[in-house]
């Protein structure tokens, strides 16, 4: 599926001790999630797109082929949902949504009609006259979305759209948001540090660390082939960088047999559940096998997650029964192995 | 002098929702706070009690009916209100400029704005004469070009009162603006609002309590203004003689009349402020 | 417990207020230091005098100090009415020199002063800005509606005198302002805000070059007598009497007439 590129930007923002520099292309109708740890520059990127933070030398933004970085924020065809929504506390939900159309020159009645339509779409017709302080978190989030969409933007920006919600509301709002985003025909950029939000909502992930892009791709690609420790932690994989020589990858002296054939620098990734632990050295191939010391033990869902230290550090998920049988406690020496079929190698 | 404003809007809806109805802190009021508080209250209230104790109640009604008293009261209310309007019109934009626009010399301008607070009002009145008087820098030109002279006119009273009262408004509105969350203005910008629209439709409603507080302070200061008024606008019944001027002159010959006038001024201002407070400050 | 606290909380400010009252809440500008105890070497004489006497009395005070080594003369200059009021409120004063018999009467009526003596008289003059831009020549020019005139308010002595003089001349003058005291009236003339004002001759002289004085015959009808008296409760005792004597002496009269006062 090829869609025309709606947003084509190079975002350069310079601050003392921090530089953001990233290329971003988003197709019409596509949802891109900027994912990254705190302080990576996600929100700065979003503010730069909205025109709230000025671009430095070399930065540019074009929307549907028109340069917009020269325009002030109020003239850009951009809608933004802020992290804590920033609904105007003195205006009703309806007037909050009508604010944008009014600013775009619509008459009072016309703007309110448009706002009512948007509120209906997000299912809040009953709360049209409520002041923001009387709305629940989920309702406020939907009003904020309606308000941003009511200006009929070509680019929709969402800053941590679900972060302010409790777990239950989050689940519900996430799926509603997914539906609204797929109805939107412009480009969408959302910022999140929650991998689940990113996977569910976005067509493509752009991972930012320290102001630059470290990895991008579909949620599936990024999930299967993490390229940084941060991404690996997010998607819950053990990730190592080593050297490949045909069907083997060597990482810190440990040899992994892998399904793929590669040469040169390579990543090896496997799930913690693919690791098996033994009290004594198992027979057979010396590959995919290393001796480790247990560093920590914690609950992880129904299983127990073991932190392993050794030539390589790794997580292993085992059953509680195994913990009892093998007497797995911090400080104990164990042998760890992983099946070749469960490892995944790709060029670094 | 403390100028407090209650203008900070809740930054997040979530925060506002979670705010508990009543603070859970209980227990006795600490005496370290109670004693100074009571002394402070007594300090402010006792002079008023003194006025009440010395008031000539028997002749009160007769004195109140004197046309000069009503004339002075009418003039005081009129000029204080007009001065407050002038201060709002000029002072709110000035406060916005000081709070939101980074321009060279901003600190100096901020310091200069407070000059009327420090200046003895009589000196302020002389300064106004030097600028707006018949032979003043601007006054001369006003006189030549339009035949307008401000001294000894009701407009002159408004000018003198506004000069002395405006800092109260500017300081309190600037404080409110600084305390207000600027991101609401950013949100307005992303919705297509120009800075003017954002100010008018978002910022101003958000800082309304601060503006009202500043306006009330400003009005109260204008109502009690004496030195700058008598120096710049002179004293003539019905034209420039406001209540404080009438009180001062009554004090020369008839201290009892001065007390009556003071009580009238006090009563009227307290009633008006109380009504305003109910309407504005407690409404949200 | 809280009741005791309450009682304490009420008592404390009351004590404070009482203390403030005892240490002299009376005067605004006057010296509030306690009167020197008699018998001590250093003595202080406190003189309450009308504002129009500022220059001359300061000079006489220096003369008095020279004649009485170890004595300090302190002045409280102000509106006569205000001073009289402060004295009746027990402000610590030794001598009172007023700009009108009426204000002195408030003090003598309260038996706070002995028999007052008129020591000088002051007459009104027309004060005009330097150069006399409105070409004022006499009292009747003040009745011209095009002439902006400042008068003292009737409640203060110079205002009362102005009314008397204008009545004597049979003139109706509509001033643009009724000022609270002579100095304020004179300021309006100095700055050219008014074309003319009626003030005392002494004030015109004190104002120097910025103001010109024009004398007029009707001023005879509105001569202002200045009474002086030692106060009965004078903390400085006999010194008060001696200061009054100095003012009434030929030496004192000389200083006063040079400043534009008339001898009584």
What backbone phi and psi angles, to 5 degrees, belong to A156?
-110, 130
What is the Cβ-side half-sphere exposure of residue A101, based on CA atoms within 13 angstroms? 23
Output the pLDDT for position B280.
59
* Residue A297, C-beta contacts closer than 8 angstroms, at least 6 positions apart: A304, A305, A306, A307, A323, A328, A329, A330
Closest Cα of chain C to B35: distance in Å? 5
Contacts of B134 in chain C (CB under 8 A): 192-193
User: Which residue in the block uniquely carries the two structure tokens 């227990």?
Assistant: B27
Q: Chain B contact for A132, CB < 8 A?
A: yes
Per-residue pLDDT of chain A (348 residues; tens, 9 = 90+): 567 889 999 999 998 889 999 999 999 999 999 999 888 899 999 999 999 999 999 999 999 999 999 999 999 999 999 999 999 999 999 999 999 999 999 999 999 999 999 999 999 999 999 999 999 999 999 999 999 999 999 999 999 999 888 888 888 899 899 999 999 999 999 999 888 888 889 999 999 999 999 999 999 889 889 999 999 988 889 999 999 988 889 998 888 988 888 898 999 999 999 999 998 888 877 788 999 999 999 998 889 999 999 899 999 999 999 888 888 889 999 999 998 888 889 998
Contact at CB, B191 and A85, closer than 8 angstroms: no
Contacts of B16 in chain A (CB under 8 A): 89, 132-133
Output the pLDDT for position A22.
92
End-to-end CA distance of chain A, in Å?
28
Angle between helices B106-113 and B67-100 (to 10 degrees): 170
Cα-based distances in Å from C60 to C40, C115, C224, C240, C257:
23, 22, 21, 13, 13
Which chains sit next to B, with 3 or more Cβ pairs under 8 A?
A, C
Which chains sit next to A, with 3 or more Cβ pairs under 8 A?
B
* DSSP secondary structure string for all residues of B142-167: HHHHH----TTSHHHHHHHHHHHHHH
* Residue C218, C-beta contacts closer than 8 angstroms, at least 6 positions apart: C139, C165, C166, C168, C169
The CA-CA-CA angle for residues A229, A235, A240, to 5°, reads 35
Lowest mean pLDDT across C1-10, C138-147, C175-184, C199-208: C1-10
Q: Which domains does chain B have, with CATH numbers?
A: 64-280 (1.10.3720.10)
Residue C22 clears pLDDT 50, i.e. is over it: no
Q: Chain B contact for A73, CB < 8 A?
A: yes
What six digits make up the tokens of A26?
Answer: 């988003």
Contacts of B194 in chain A (CB under 8 A): 74, 103
Closest Cα of chain A to B186: distance in Å? 7
* Total CB pairs under 8 A between chain B and C: 86
Per the prediction, chain C carries an average pLDDT of 83
Output the pLDDT for position B13.
42
Output the pLDDT for position B196.
93
Contacts of B39 in chain C (CB under 8 A): 12-13, 16
CA dihedral of C177, C180, C183, C188, whole degrees rounded to 10: -20
Q: Chain B contact for C115, CB < 8 A?
A: no
Contact at CB, B253 and C150, closer than 8 angstroms: no
Output the pLDDT for position B266.
85
Beta bridge partners of C125: C199
Contacts of C192 in chain B (CB under 8 A): 133-135
Residue C74 clears pLDDT 80, i.e. is over it: yes
* Total CB pairs under 8 A between chain A and B: 85
Contact at CB, C184 and B231, closer than 8 angstroms: yes
Percent of chain C with pLDDT over 70: 84
Which chains sit next to C, with 3 or more Cβ pairs under 8 A?
B
Contact at CB, B187 and A80, closer than 8 angstroms: yes
Q: Chain B contact for C163, CB < 8 A?
A: no
**R_g (Cα) of chain A, nearest Å:** 24
CA dihedral of C256, C259, C263, C264, whole degrees rounded to 10: -80
Classify A311 in phi/psi space as left (phi over 0), alpha (psi -120 to 50) or beta.
alpha
Name which of B187, B197, B212, B283 to mutate to probe chain A: the one with the most chain A Cβ atoms within 10 A of its Cβ: B187
Asked if C44-121+225-258 and C124-222 have one fold, the answer is: yes
CA-wise closest residue to C209 among C152, C127, C115, C91: C127
* Residue C190, C-beta contacts closer than 8 angstroms, at least 6 positions apart: C129, C207, C210, C211
Beta bridge partners of A5: A27
Which of 3.40.50.150, 3.40.190.10, 3.50.30.30, 3.30.530.20 is the CATH number of C44-121+225-258?
A: 3.40.190.10
Topology given in CATH for the domain delimited by C124-222: D-Maltodextrin-Binding Protein; domain 2 (3.40.190)
Rounded CA separation B7/B24 (Å)? 24
Residue C24 clears pLDDT 90, i.e. is over it: no
For residue B256, what is the enclosing H or E element? helix B255-276
Among candidates B39, B130, B251 on the partner chain, residue whose Cβ is nearest the Cβ of C13: B39
Contact at CB, C180 and B245, closer than 8 angstroms: yes
What backbone phi and psi angles, to 5 degrees, belong to C28?
-80, -55
Output the pLDDT for position C188.
92
**In this complex, does chain B touch chain A, defined as having at least 3 beta-carbon pairs under 8 Å apart?**
yes
**In this complex, does chain B touch chain C, defined as having at least 3 beta-carbon pairs under 8 Å apart?**
yes
Among candidates B187, B201, B208 on the partner chain, residue whose Cβ is nearest the Cβ of A86: B187
Angle between helices A167-183 and A137-149 (to 10 degrees): 20
Nearest CA in chain B to A140: B13
Percent of chain C with pLDDT over 90: 55
Rounded CA separation C138/C135 (Å)? 9
Q: Are C116 and C108 in contact (CB under 8 A)?
A: yes
Contacts of B14 in chain A (CB under 8 A): 84, 137, 140, 164
Contacts of B35 in chain C (CB under 8 A): 8-9, 12
Which stretches of A118-172 are assigned E, i.e. beta strand?
155-159
Residue C215 clears pLDDT 70, i.e. is over it: yes
Q: Chain B contact for C83, CB < 8 A?
A: no
End-to-end CA distance of chain C, in Å?
70
Contact at CB, C191 and B135, closer than 8 angstroms: yes
Output the pLDDT for position B250.
85
DSSP-derived letter for residue B253 is: H
Among candidates A52, A75, A133 on the partner chain, residue whose Cβ is nearest the Cβ of B16: A133
**In this complex, does chain A touch chain C, defined as having at least 3 beta-carbon pairs under 8 Å apart?**
no
For residue C219, what is the enclosing H or E element? none
CA-wise closest residue to C48 among C74, C76, C73, C24: C76
Kindly list the domain boundaries of chain C, sorted by start residue: 44-121+225-258, 124-222
pLDDT band at C31 (very low <50, low <70, confident <90, very high): very low
Rounded CA separation A40/A37 (Å)? 6
10-residue averages of pLDDT along chain B (284 residues): 42 43 66 94 90 84 82 94 97 95 92 91 93 91 89 95 95 94 95 94 94 92 93 92 90 81 85 74 49
Nearest CA in chain A to B17: A133
Residue C99 clears pLDDT 70, i.e. is over it: yes
Q: Chain B contact for A135, CB < 8 A?
A: yes
Contacts of B184 in chain A (CB under 8 A): 86, 88
Contact at CB, B35 and C175, closer than 8 angstroms: no
Contact at CB, B191 and A151, closer than 8 angstroms: yes
Closest Cα of chain B to C100: distance in Å? 12
Contacts of B133 in chain C (CB under 8 A): 191-193
Rounded CA separation A10/C171 (Å)? 87
pTM of the model as a whole: 0.77
The CA-CA-CA angle for residues C179, B160, B79, to 5°, reads 95
Contacts of C12 in chain B (CB under 8 A): 35, 38-39
Among candidates C16, C148, C153 on the partner chain, residue whose Cβ is nearest the Cβ of B249: C153
Rounded CA separation A129/C26 (Å)? 62
Whether the CA torsion A202, A208, A211, A214 is positive or negative: it is negative
Contact at CB, B190 and A135, closer than 8 angstroms: no
* Residue A233, C-beta contacts closer than 8 angstroms, at least 6 positions apart: none
SS3 B29: coil
Output the pLDDT for position C1.
41
For residue C250, what is the enclosing H or E element? helix C250-258
Nearest CA in chain C to B38: C9
Contact at CB, A79 and B197, closer than 8 angstroms: no
Nearest CA in chain B to A105: B192
CA A275 to chain centre: 27
CB-CB neighbours of A125 under 10 Å:
13
User: Which residue in the block uniquely carries the two structure tokens 């420790």?
Assistant: A229
* DSSP secondary structure string for all residues of C111-146: T-B---EEEEEE-EEEEEETT-TT---SGGGGGSTT
Q: Chain B contact for A138, CB < 8 A?
A: no
Q: Are A262 and A302 in contact (CB under 8 A)?
A: no
Rounded CA separation A340/A271 (Å)? 12
CA-wise closest residue to C197 among C177, C217, C219, C180: C177
C147-202, pLDDT tens digit by residue? 999 999 988 888 888 999 999 999 999 999 999 888 889 999 999 999 999 999 99
What is the Cβ-side half-sphere exposure of residue A326, based on CA atoms within 13 angstroms? 22
SS3 C34: coil
Nearest CA in chain B to C5: B31
* Residue B69, C-beta contacts closer than 8 angstroms, at least 6 positions apart: B63, B246, B260, B261, B264
């Amino acid at each position: 599926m090829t869609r025309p590129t709606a947003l084509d930007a190079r975002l350069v923002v310079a601050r003392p001790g921090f530089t953001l520099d990233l290329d971003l292309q988003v197709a019409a109708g596509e949802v891109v999630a900027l994912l990254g740890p705190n302080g990576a520059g996600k929100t700065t990127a979003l503010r730069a797109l909205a025109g709230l933070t000025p671009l430095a030398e070399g930065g540019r933004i074009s929307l549907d082929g028109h340069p917009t970085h020269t325009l002030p924020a109020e003239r850009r065809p951009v809608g933004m949902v802020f992290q804590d929504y920033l609904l105007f506390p003195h205006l009703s939900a309806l007037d909050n949504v009508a604010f944008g159309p009014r600013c775009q020159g619509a008459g009072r009645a016309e703007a309110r009609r448009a706002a009512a339509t948007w509120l209906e779409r997000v299912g809040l017709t009953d709360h049209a006259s409520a002041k923001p302080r009387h709305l629940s978190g989920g309702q406020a989030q939907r009003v904020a979305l309606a308000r941003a969409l009511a200006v009929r933007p070509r680019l929709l920006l969402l800053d941590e759209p679900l972060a302010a919600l409790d777990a239950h509301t989050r689940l519900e709002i996430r799926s509603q948001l997914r539906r609204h985003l797929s109805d939107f025909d412009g480009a969408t950029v959302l910022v999140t540090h929650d991998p689940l939000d990113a996977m569910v909502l976005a067509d493509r992930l752009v991972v930012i660390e320290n102001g630059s892009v470290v990895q991008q791709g579909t949620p599936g690609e990024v999930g299967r082939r993490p390229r940084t420790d941060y991404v690996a932690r997010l998607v819950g994989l053990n990730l190592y960088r080593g050297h490949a020589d045909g069907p083997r990858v060597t990482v810190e002296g440990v040899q992994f047999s892998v399904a793929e054939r590669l040469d040169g620098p390579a990543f090896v990734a496997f799930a913690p559940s693919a690791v098996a632990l033994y009290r004594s050295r198992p027979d057979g191939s010396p590959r995919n096998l290393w001796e480790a010391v247990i560093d920590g033990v914690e609950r992880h869902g129904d299983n127990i997650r073991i932190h392993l230290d050794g030539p390589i550090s790794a997580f292993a998920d085992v059953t509680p029964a195994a913990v009892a049988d093998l007497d797995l406690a911090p400080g104990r020496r164990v042998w760890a192995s992983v099946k070749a079929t469960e490892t995944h190698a790709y060029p670094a | 002098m403390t100028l407090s404003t209650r203008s900070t809007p809740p930054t997040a809806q979530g925060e506002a929702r979670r705010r508990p109805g009543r603070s859970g802190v209980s227990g006795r009021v600490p005496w370290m706070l109670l004693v100074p508080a009571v002394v402070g209250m007594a300090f402010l209230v006792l002079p008023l009690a003194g006025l009440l104790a010395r008031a000539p109640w028997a002749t009160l009604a007769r004195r109140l009916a004197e046309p000069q008293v009503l004339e002075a009261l009418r003039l005081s209310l009129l000029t204080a209100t007009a001065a407050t309007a002038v201060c709002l019109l000029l002072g709110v934009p000035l406060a916005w400029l000081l709070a939101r626009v980074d321009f060279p010399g901003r600190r100096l301008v901020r310091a200069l704005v407070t000059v009327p607070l420090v200046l003895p009002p009589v000196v302020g009145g002389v300064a106004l004469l030097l600028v707006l008087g018949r032979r003043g820098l601007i006054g001369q030109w006003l006189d030549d070009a339009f035949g307008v002279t401000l001294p000894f006119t009701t407009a002159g009273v408004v000018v003198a009162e506004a000069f002395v009262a405006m800092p109260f408004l500017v300081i309190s509105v600037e404080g409110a603006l600084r305390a207000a969350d600027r991101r609401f203005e950013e949100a307005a910008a992303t919705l297509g609002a120009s800075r003017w629209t954002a100010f008018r439709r978002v910022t101003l409603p958000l800082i309304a309590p601060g503006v009202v507080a500043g306006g009330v302070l400003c009005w109260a200061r204008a109502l009690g203004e004496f030195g700058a008024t008598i120096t710049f606008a002179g004293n003539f019944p019905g034209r420039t003689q406001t209540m404080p001027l009438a009180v001062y002159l009554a004090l020369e010959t008839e201290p009892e009349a001065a007390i009556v006038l003071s009580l009238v001024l006090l009563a009227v201002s307290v009633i008006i402020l109380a009504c305003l407070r109910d309407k504005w400050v407690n409404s949200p | 417990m809280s009741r005791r606290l309450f009682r304490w909380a009420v008592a404390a400010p009351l004590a404070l207020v009482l203390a403030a009252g005892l240490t002299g809440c009376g005067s605004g500008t006057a010296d509030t230091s306690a009167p020197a105890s008699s018998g001590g070497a250093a003595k202080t004489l406190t003189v309450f005098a009308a504002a129009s006497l500022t220059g001359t009395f300061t000079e006489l005070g220096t003369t008095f100090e020279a004649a009485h080594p170890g004595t300090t003369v302190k002045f409280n200059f102000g509106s006569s009415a205000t001073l009289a009021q402060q004295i009746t409120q027990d402000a610590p004063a030794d001598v009172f020199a007023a700009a009108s018999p009426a204000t002195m009467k408030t003090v003598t009526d309260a038996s706070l002063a002995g028999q007052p003596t008129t020591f000088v008289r002051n007459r009104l003059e027309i004060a005009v800005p330097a150069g006399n831009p409105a070409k004022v020549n006499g009292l009747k020019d003040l009745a011209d509606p095009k002439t902006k005139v400042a008068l003292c308010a009737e409640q203060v002595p110079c205002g009362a005198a102005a009314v008397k003089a204008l009545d004597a001349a049979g003139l109706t003058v509509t001033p643009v302002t009724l000022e609270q005291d002579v100095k304020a009236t004179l300021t309006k003339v100095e700055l050219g805000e008014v074309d003319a004002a009626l003030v005392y001759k002494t004030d015109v002289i004190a104002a120097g070059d910025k103001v010109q004085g024009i004398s007029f015959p009707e001023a005879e009808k509105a001569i202002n007598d200045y009474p002086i008296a030692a106060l009965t409760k004078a903390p400085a005792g006999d010194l008060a009497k001696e200061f009054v004597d100095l003012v009434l002496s030929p030496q004192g009269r000389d200083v006063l007439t040079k400043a534009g006062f008339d001898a009584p």
